[in-house]
Structure 1
């Protein structure tokens, strides 16, 4: 499958909303039960990109959006400012074709370039494909939380995986790097 990666834009929101809707209704990656509409998805997009986090789209050669990925704050307390959480969602026809791996790889590069030091994946439903793509990217198992959600008539576990970015925790962050501007308390 041939595709390119580019920054997602507000004009992508209708397709992004559809991809996320399918995931909410049929999958376990999101613990939301009711899919949000376009206005809510546009608001979420604006909050994430407005804070300077990367939001990436994968587009096939026909211009069809296959999936998207973004980084966002893991937590909003200031001490967490060098850690991001990744999110990846794919259209059903894009799954198992390297799109998720490419999106994650690009997200890792962009977050490293922005000065973040840790990336965490919070994998709902302990989804095997998501675990595999994160493991292939170098993420390590950080923990298992049993029975964190109840969806589709069953209890779901959540797996936490973590990847050090750049120098990770081997050095102090330099003052003035990008994440310092995200949170002020």
Structure 2
């Protein structure tokens, strides 16, 4: 086409353009977990076992194992939360568990947060951690630790740091998954 034949593309007036649909609102509620949530918790967790190094577990957890863990944490009055979507689906969970079994460690816990793949990157992890820390404080927990793999979970490290967790140590090459060595980063937060 010759330059003199070129006509600029005309734009439709705004009132004649098709409307752009709004982004769907990401809705959820956070509540204490109940035993009936464990099949969904298992499904989310086992996704990470099979596909990521976020957990160093190599074998999927069974429903019986999750029910046993939930009952044990409930008996200890440890917070265990689930996030529920607007359509009543479990889309994430968070809990704390004893750091060590010795009695002197009873006020120190390790946190765990897992989101369904479609719920990542939307602020849900932040909301779960905020509520988990508040519930942990109410349960008279004093120290919360996060043990995060050093390669492949950088978002988790940033999330914890945004809540005031401080790096207190690293262990190199302590896990071997997917044919590679992995280390861990230990982060700690004092609940006042």
TM-score, length-scaled by structure 1: 0.87
Indicate the residue corresponding to 1:31 in structure 2: 56
Q: What TM-score does the superposition give when structure 2 sets the normalisation length?
A: 0.84
Greater relative CO, 1 or 2 (CA 8 Å, sep 6+): 1
Describe how 1:141-156 pairs up with structure 2 within 5 A: 141-156=167-182
The partner residue of 2:184 within 129, 139, 158 is 158
Alignment of 1:102 with 2:123, yes or no, is no
> How far 1:124 moved relative to its partner?
2.6
Matched, 1:136 2:167: no
Q: Deviations over 1:41-93 (max 9, x none)?
A: 11111111121101000011111111000011001112211111101111111
Deviation at 1:4, TM superposition (A): 0.7
In the aligned structure 2, how far is the partner of 1:105 from the partner of 1:155?
31
Unaligned runs of 5+ in 1: 167-185
Q: How much has 1:113 moved relative to structure 2?
A: 1.2
Aligned counterpart in structure 2 of residue 53 of structure 1, from 58, 78, 82 = 78
SS state at 1:68 partner? strand
Q: Any residues of structure 2 matched to 1:1-185 within 5 Å, and which?
A: 1-126=26-151, 127-166=153-192
Structure 1 CA distance, aligned partners of 2:149 and 2:98?
17
Specify every segment of 5 or more residues in structure 2 that has no aligned partner in the other structure, as ranges: 1-25
Partner-residue secondary structure (3-state), 2:54: coil
* Contact in 2 for aligned 1:28/1:125 (Cα 8 Å): no
CA distance in 2, matches of 1:36, 1:81: 25
Distance 1:34 1:49 in 2: 24
CA RMSD in angstroms comes to 1.0
Deviation of residue 36 (structure 1)?
1.3
SS of aligned partner of 1:109: helix
Which protein is bigger by CA-based radius of gyration?
2
Aligned to 1:177: none
